[in-house]
Structures are given as structure tokens and as C-alpha cells.
Amino acid sequence: PMVLKTIGTASRSHSCPTRRRPAASMVAEPVPMVFKTGSSAGKVKQGKITNEDVLRREVPWSAFKEKGIISKDELELMYQLVEIVQSKSVAAQAALIEMRSAEHAQLFKALLTGVNKDEVVMYILSLLDELLKQKPTLASLFHAALYESGGAIDVFEPMLKLLSRQHLFILEKTTVVLAKLLSWDHYIPPAPNPNLEAALARKLRSFAAWAVALLKNVDPQDGFDQPRVVHVLGGVQQLVSSAPGRIAFVEADGLPLLLGLMSGGHYGTHSAVQLLYVVMVVVWSLSYSPECASKLGHAAGLVPKLVDILKSVQKEKVVRVTCAALRNLVGVGSCSSDMIGAGVMKALLHLQQRKWADEDVKEDVDYLVEALEGSLKSMSSWDVYAKEVASGRLEWSPSHRSDHFWKDNYKAFEQNDGETLKQLVGCLASPDPTTLAVACHDVGEL
């Protein structure tokens, strides 16, 4: 029930200046398809309802004043907001909220805390989603309300509680809105408040841990066939568009999760390819943070897996984002030599022969070839061989069939307590027939 489109992202402002940013943003946002027929209840059940559908509904706001959930002034404020919502002027809505930001934040907090009805929660979340799409800087107002009230006006906490709801629309909107609010790092408080800073950091970590825990149960073979997966990955994409969000995701043990999602599918269906693409967008976003890029480089098997994707996936958008991520990792720790060991040069030379609709792909491929050729010159034949064995994927590169290589390097297998020898023996259990054949050959040569 979901389609994907590319949208602009705030992640550009956090990128490392030495790393080229692709001209087109590669953050995919899940956008519900609009159906003109069918009941509203049916749309909610199937996850096809839109913000517009929700905001057209009439909600008995006065009932919440009578129950003491909101005050008379807050009711009047809500009526003003509803009137502007009906005019469909997002700019006017944003202007009203900016003019009385703390009051609106308190109103939203009161409704999300005191009202459990789906239609009310959906209305508030749809309104916030539309506002943040049109004007992302409104996120600062909710941070300001928290700091200026000494923590009393906290919209984040009731939203975190909504993550346990089973309603798909509420889950989708809560995930995206909360990710945008928590990952926003452009607000500078008037005075430092260590307690509130720590509280916000805890909320960010809680959100990241929730997303990672939910995605750990995903079977990559199912791809994007599960709406809940689409919604949570959409939130993760938004989360890693900021430096604090990237760090929170990595600290929540997100890197092994990404590797698992990349490794489990065979990319034979559109759904599996789409899942891989979105996962690669997250990896690409993480690669812009020096700290996260370093952790990506140290994540066991991740760089070889990126190279494997270049070799096996033909879809241009997947190749584009994978090349962009690899480009950001060039020169990070041992990433360059890891790429060479995994056989990236052969894959890149093949990609250079293809024609691309997006010029960014060709530019990234050419950059990688030039940069890695420089690294290759500084590596001995043993260095290249050891990196290849460490990657767990072997090919019939020249070293394997060179008598000179074996005569010159057989003693090197004893280095580091036989580390490369142990890794070569490990390749004998590979399900890949080429890797298995090369490993048997090398054991024979040794």
C-alpha cells in the first residue's frame, strides 16, 4: 500500500565538507497512495488513509474542555487552528503556531496525554506531519517550549508512548514526526540545562532502541511487504539525517541490524530491492558522520557486503547510493584496502562501461577507481590477498594462480597467529561455489 518518492533532507547540513554530496537527495519517504473510493474505516484498516482524509474530519473538541483535559483558552486556540486547517493554508497554520508556540505545544501535550481516541491522536499527528513537511524549522518551537517551561511542556514523552499503539496510521505518523522532532539539532537554548539535555538524549536513545528492536524481527526476504517495516524505516531514515540521530542509532546496535537486512535477501523482487535501497540510504547517511563512518569501517563484513551489492544488484538507484556510501568511506581506517580485497576494482571497471541516467553515478565510480588505484599501488600482493580472504568472498584473481605469489608468501600465513590461514579455512564452509573452489585451490597450493 505504499509508494516511495525522493525528498529533500536536512542531512546535507551535517555532511563532512570533504565528502561529495550527491546532487539529488536519496532519502526515500513513504507516502500513502490516495484512494478515491472506499470507506474511511477501510482506509485506516489497510493503512491507505492520508493526512488530508484525517484533517477533513470533525472532532468534538468542546467535549475535552468539559472533561477538563483542555482549558477554555486552549479550546479557543484549537478552534482557531481548525479554522485555518480547513482553509488548507499550511503557511497560515505555521504562522499561528509560531506566534503562540508555547501555548500550542501545551495544547498538543494535553490532548496527546489526556485523550486516547484514535481520531484525536490521528488529527494531531497529521497536523504536525503536514506542518513539519512544509516548515521543518517548526521543530525548534517544541524544543523551545520544553526548555522555557523547565521541562513542563514536553510533547515528546506522550509521543514515545504512542509507539506501542497497534494502529498503523498512528504508528506511521508517530514514527516520522517523533524522528523529526528528536533528531532536530538546530535549536540553541537560551541557557544550558544539563538535566533537560540529558532527558532529550534519553528520549532519542529510547526511540532509536525501539526502532532497532522492531526491525531485528524483519525477514529481508519479505522486503517492503510489511507496512510496519516501511513506517519504522522511514523514521530511521529521518533519524540518521542528523548527527545526534546517527550516533543514537549506532549506539542502539544499529550497524549489525543493517548488515543483516543487507545480507538476507536475494534481491529477486521489487520489494526486496526497495528494502535494500532504503537500508543503503541509511548507510549512506551514516557515512557522513566521521564517528559513524569509522564504526561502519570497523563493522565486520560491512564493507565487503557493500562491494558484493555493487557486483550483484543492477538497479541504478541501489548502485548510486552504494557508490556514494563507498566514496564517503574511502580513506576511513582500512576501508580502502577492504574494498580492494573484496574485489571492488573489477566491479567498478564493469560499472564504468555502463550508461547511467544519473551523472552522479559515473562521477562516483570514476572517483572510486582513481582513489583506490592509488591505494592499490601502495599495497603488496600479500596485502591484497589477505584482505580478500578476510572479506570471506574469493575470486580467481591473479595471486591465486601465481607460482611466484605462493613461493614468496607462504611463510606470511604464519603471521598474527595464523590469522589469514584460519580465515582461509573458514572460507571452506562458504555457500558460494566460487569462494569454495578458490579456497580449496589455495589450501592445496599451501
Residue-wise pLDDT for 174-183, tens only, equals: 999 999 999 9
Q: Which amino acid is at 62?
A: S
Write the DSSP string, 124-143.
Answer: HHHHHHHHHHH-GGGHHHHH
- DSSP letters along 178-227, please? HHHHHH------SS--HHHHHHHHHHHHHHHHHHHHHHTT--GGGTT--H
Res. 7: pLDDT tops 50 = no
* Single-letter amino acid code for the residue at 4: L
CA–CA distance, 206 with 210 (Å, rounded to integer): 6
Grid-cell match 531485528, residue found: 216
**Dist. CA 68–CA 46, nearest whole Å:** 34
What digits encode the pLDDT tens for the residues 187-202? 999 999 999 999 999 9
Give pLDDT tens digits for 103-135: 999 999 999 999 999 999 999 999 999 999 989
The residue among 371, 359, 357 whose CA lies nearest residue 328 is 371
pTM: 0.77
Specify the amino acid at residue 20.
R
Find the range with the poorest average confidence among 2-6, 80-84, 211-215, 360-364: 2-6
